[in-house]
Amino acid sequence: MSNFIKRIYPIVIEILLWVVVIVGTIGGFVAGINNNIGAALLGAVLGFLGSLVFNIIVFGTLLLFINISEKIDVINEQIKEVKDLDFKKKQLKEEYDQAEKN
């Protein structure tokens, strides 16, 4: 279950990013539509920009944590590879030392 959540979490965040931008733009448009079309378009632009700032502040932090988690996974894989190489190196050295004794 935890692996599923870890895989699906970035997708959910991406969807939420787009939903916030769309809702902010539409909300700004609807807020200004009572006056005239110019106010509605200005409201849409301001809603769009406001939702982008909100996304940067709120979801940017979450995306940063996701990125750090992915980098840690890559580093762990590299550490495992190095440990495997060290183990194989020790095995080969032992085999070589035994072959020299014989």
Give the pLDDT confidence of 37-72 residue by residue, as tens digits.
888 899 999 999 999 999 999 989 888 998 998 899
10 within 8 A of 66, measured Cβ to Cβ:
yes
Give the end-to-end CA distance of the chain in Å, rounded to a whole number. 54
Q: How does residue 102 score in pLDDT terms, banded at 50, 70 and 90?
A: low
Instruction: State the Cα–Cα distance between residues 50 and 34, nearest whole angstrom.
Output: 20
Q: How does residue 31 score in pLDDT terms, banded at 50, 70 and 90?
A: confident
Query: What global pTM score does this model have?
Result: 0.67
Domain that holds residue 57: 2-101
Query: H helices within 1-102, ranges in order?
Result: 2-32, 37-54, 60-101
Residue with the two structure tokens 């440990």: 83
How many independent structural domains does the chain possess?
A: 1
pLDDT at 39: 87
Task: Please provide residue 56's backbone torsions phi and psi, each rounded to the nearest 5 degrees.
Answer: -65, -45
